[in-house]
Structure 1
Amino acid sequence: MITLTEAAAAYIKTLLKKKGDNAEFRLSLKKTGCSGFSYAPDIVTSIKAQDKCVKTDKGFNVYLDTQYVDYLQGLTIDYREEANMGLKQKRLIFINPNEDGRCGCGESFHIEK
């Protein structure tokens, strides 16, 4: 269902450790931008009862907002450190086979379902 690269898993584990023992990784989508959606990853200390738990082989679970589970099928999460205008950016990269297009700046995407 969801694939995490080793780099993404290591980065998420670092965030979970900083947040504390009860920390969980939750992924949702938010309606925004010119194309409709953007990814909304979060480190939370309480999950929503309706969230879907996806077990990983990386030492932590991923909790998905149930209303977007179909949109996230086949998703790969990667992590990259990139230099942008002299500044180092650390960010998760989402590779989703369900995306039908992205806006020009790449911050939002759309899925026709």
Structure 2
Amino acid sequence: MSSLSSLKCEACQAGAPKVTEEELPKLLAEIPEWNIEVRDGIMQLERVYSFKNFKQALAFTNSVGEIAEEVFHHPSILTEWGKVTVTWWTHKIKGLHKNDFIMAAKTDELLV
């Protein structure tokens, strides 16, 4: 269990600080299954989860949706047969905020 998962997301406004290059290695070490992807110049956290069938993938997708709604911070979710791709980033700052790492850790905990 990552210590990040015990933290709470803070309200994030436009202009909030992005995670720095110095902070990235420490934060990524807490969520080792996640990868950094850059799309349209925006750094994002992404992980692909595998499941035995579509029903399990859909149930996981719904669980991710529930934790996202609790904090009003929503990922991109692609649900397919046997897999779910979850991508976190903060739209307001067009990049990664600590909230994204917190939510990635909370997403991982849904598998426990």
Both structures adopt the same fold (TM-score exceeding 0.5): no
Greater relative contact order structure (CA < 8 Å, 6+ sep): 2
Identify, as 1 or 2, the structure richer in helix.
Answer: 2
Identify, as 1 or 2, the structure richer in strand.
Answer: 1
Q: Tell me which structure has the larger Cα radius of gyration.
A: 1
TM-score, normalising length: structure 1: 0.25
